[in-house]
């Protein structure tokens, strides 16, 4: 941040009292941050636009005169890995925050409580295969907790980046997860965003995972008013997540490409994808299992993200087969 921007923003505050010092605290405490800033509420994107706009434009390759057009209509795509040789699982998530509440790095305990109640009552209204149960981290028993951890239906207290941002305040109070009885649909409550809405399967069937999510979102939207901006789409704690707020990806085993990392990185760059570690963000690759997902979330529609990912994964699988 230039001194000019710092001077302009130093004494600014949003209506809920979120300051520049809070927005940049995570990046200051963690010099290895790649982004380093968080929004404390929807208004942060306007109040601190001098700081946020350049980060957003660079990360998403976006310019403010470009329109962000959503499209979450259903898709039918050919199977990626019909013999299930490479892809272990497919997961698509979106993030949502509710209008009228501060974001998780700047929310009081009583507001978090109110929010949790509101979200849980909306989740109770889900129908058919989306029906499920909410597990509060405050009241969950040991046995259930062990099961959720084992089945990977669980989120941990935030890492040092989220911690410095303020996201862990009052943890584990008002946090929990909802999962459908078939365990293919899940919602994290009060993690980095108010909601992380997740569809997942231990298959390579991207259309099925995506269509489940596109079915769930309008139902949830009937009872929850999501924070959204004309230019920036859905607003989230981290500016990397705005727009569609969608991260769609697979866990894929690439034994040969692991030994040909340059080729893999070239393909990932060509299709505008990103690689994360086997255990999630900022973790290592284990047993050649890569987490490959879309990088851009703003200025691109939901269905385009899925189509690009599908094209990229086809190319990656082909490269693995040819080696």
| Interface with ligand ARG (CB under 6 A) | 26, 33-36, 161, 192, 238, 240, 281
Tell me how far, at minimum, the Cβ of 144 lies from ligand ARG, in Å: 26
- Identify the active-site residue in 58, 84, 138, 281: 281
- Cβ partners under 8 Å of residue 288, min gap 6: 253, 254, 255, 258
Cis peptide before 240 (omega within 30 of 0): no
33 versus 208: smaller Cβ distance to ligand ARG? 33
57 versus 314: smaller Cβ distance to ligand ARG? 57
112 versus 247: smaller Cβ distance to ligand ARG? 247
Tell me how far, at minimum, the Cβ of 133 lies from ligand ARG, in Å: 26
Distance separating alpha carbons of residues 237 and 212, to the nearest angstrom: 25
Tell me how far, at minimum, the Cβ of 305 lies from ligand ARG, in Å: 17
- Identify the active-site residue in 212, 240, 297, 320: 240
Q: Please confirm, yes or no, whether 240 is among the known catalytic residues.
A: yes
- Identify the active-site residue in 90, 96, 201, 238: 238
Distance separating alpha carbons of residues 98 and 85, to the nearest angstrom: 40
Q: Please confirm, yes or no, whether 192 is among the known catalytic residues.
A: yes
Beta pairing class for 289-294 and 273-276: antiparallel
Q: Please confirm, yes or no, whether 283 is among the known catalytic residues.
A: no
195 within 8 A of 97, measured Cβ to Cβ: yes
Q: Please confirm, yes or no, whether 281 is among the known catalytic residues.
A: yes
- Give the largest CA-CA distance in the chain: 58
Distance separating alpha carbons of residues 141 and 171, to the nearest angstrom: 17
Name the residue whose CB lies closest to ligand ARG: 238
* Residues with catalytic roles: 93, 192, 196, 238, 240, 247, 276, 281
């Amino acid at each position: 941040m230039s001194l000019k921007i710092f001077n302009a923003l130093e004494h600014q505050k949003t209506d809920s009292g979120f300051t520049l010092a809070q927005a940049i605290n995570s990046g200051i405490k963690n010099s290895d941050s790649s982004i380093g800033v968080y929004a404390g509420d929807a208004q942060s994107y306007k109040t601190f636009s001098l700081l946020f706009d350049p980060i957003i434009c660079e990360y998403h390759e976006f310019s403010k005169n470009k329109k962000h057009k959503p499209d979450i209509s259903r898709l039918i795509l050919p199977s990626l890995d019909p013999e299930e040789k490479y892809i272990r699982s497919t997961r698509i998530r979106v993030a949502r925050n509710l209008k009228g509440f501060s974001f998780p790095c700047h929310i009081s305990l009583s507001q978090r409580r109110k929010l949790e109640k509101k979200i849980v009552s909306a989740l109770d209204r889900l129908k058919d295969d989306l029906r499920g149960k909410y597990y509060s981290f405050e009241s969950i028993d040991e046995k259930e907790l062990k099961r959720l951890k084992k089945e990977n239906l669980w989120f941990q207290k935030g890492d040092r980046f989220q911690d410095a941002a303020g996201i862990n305040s009052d943890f584990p109070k008002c946090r929990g997860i909802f999962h459908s009885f078939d365990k293919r649909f899940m919602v994290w409550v009060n993690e980095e965003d108010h909601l992380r809405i997740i569809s997942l399967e231990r298959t390579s069937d991207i259309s099925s995972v995506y269509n489940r999510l596109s079915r769930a979102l309008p139902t949830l939207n009937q009872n929850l008013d999501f924070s959204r901006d004309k230019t920036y789409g859905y607003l989230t704690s981290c500016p990397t997540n705005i727009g569609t707020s969608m991260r769609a990806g697979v866990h894929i085993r690439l034994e040969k490409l692991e030994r040909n990392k340059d080729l893999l990185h070239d393909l990932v760059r060509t299709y505008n994808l990103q690689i994360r570690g086997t255990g999630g963000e900022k973790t290592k690759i284990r047993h050649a299992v890569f987490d490959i997902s879309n990088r851009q979330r703003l200025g691109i529609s939901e269905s385009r993200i899925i189509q690009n990912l599908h094209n990229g994964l086809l190319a990656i699988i082909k490269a693995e087969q040819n080696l």
